[in-house]
Structure 1
Amino acid sequence: MAGKKRAKVPLEFRNTPLADALQTQDMAALAFALRHGPTVVPLLRPGQRDDPRDAGEVWTYRDPNTGDIALLLFSDAAHKPASLPPAVALQSPEWLRTFLGAHEGEITTVFFDIAGPHPMQATPADLIAALDA
């Protein structure tokens, strides 16, 4: 008997607990959501599908007046403004902790759902502390 192929469930580019935490502006709930679920990250360049080590190149915003660099993260890919590059990745809490640790000296702020519906911002140090808790 031939085996039936299971229908693949489409990957959801969202973290509902993160969206809920942003709605209530609750830092403790935000920390919990980041430790236990993925984050939607905009990409300048998507990763190569056949190379699992290539996660792509993360897109960051550099303020033209100050040179400050911001990392924009999203609770849902639907909240990413169309003006940003179209590619996104769904990254793990471990990835986020590693990325923030590696770039903490360059990134001045992290914005969540910057275009709404419930934007919030934090420093990389605050997020590292939340992820390490």
Structure 2
Amino acid sequence: MAGKKKVKRAGPERFRNTQLADALQTQDMAAVAFALRHGPTVVPLMRPGHRDNPLDVGEVWTYRDPKTGDVALLLFSDAAHKPATLPPGVALQAPDWLRAFLGAHEDEITTVFFDIAGPHPLQAAPADLIAALDA
């Protein structure tokens, strides 16, 4: 078929923020804040967004501790760092989306984990991330 190109979809291997991964490696909170303000974050999804509706970002997956009821938001610097035990869907979300999501759910989310399974995990309070995104 001359003239037709096969379109390649972006796979999970393209879902990453190298600057965030570097900041997590050094555990430098100022660098993490900068990376969050200027780059995307990989977010696990329970349900991916509908392809024909760009406003549908899907349903974000959160972890609720069955003993305490505490809710954790898990974020990743790279889709490759997401444990296979989590739902398979991911989204690459912009800083303004992360700020809006944290603001809307700040009273429900008790903690945020970055790259929880490694290689360089980090834990932060939602209020601290909101402050970093607003700086």
TM-score range, shorter chain: over 0.9
Q: Structure 2: 5+ residue runs without aligned partners? A: none
Give SS of 1:95's match: helix
The letter of the residue matching 1:40 is V
Which of 69, 73, 76 aligns to 1:74? It is 76
TM-score under structure 2 length normalisation: 0.92
**Matched residue count:** 132
Which of 104, 107, 115 aligns to 1:105? It is 107
Structure 2 distance, partners of 1:50, 1:129, is 34
Structure 1 distance, partners of 2:112, 2:49, is 22
RMSD: 1.8
TM-superposition CA deviations, 1:42-72 (whole Å, max 9, x none): 0000000000110000000000110000000
The letter of the residue matching 2:104 is A
Show the counterpart of 2:46: 44
TM-superposition CA deviations, 1:98-132 (whole Å, max 9, x none): 00000000000000000000000100000000000
Q: Percent identity?
A: 83
Following TM superposition, the consecutive aligned residue runs of length 4 or more in structure 1 with deviations greater than 3 angstroms are: 7-11
Show the counterpart of 2:131: 129
Structure 2 distance, partners of 1:108, 1:15, is 24
Give SS of 1:44's match: strand
Q: 1:9 to 1:43 in 2, by over 3 A?
A: closer
TM-score under structure 1 length normalisation: 0.93
Which of 20, 23, 34 aligns to 1:21? It is 23
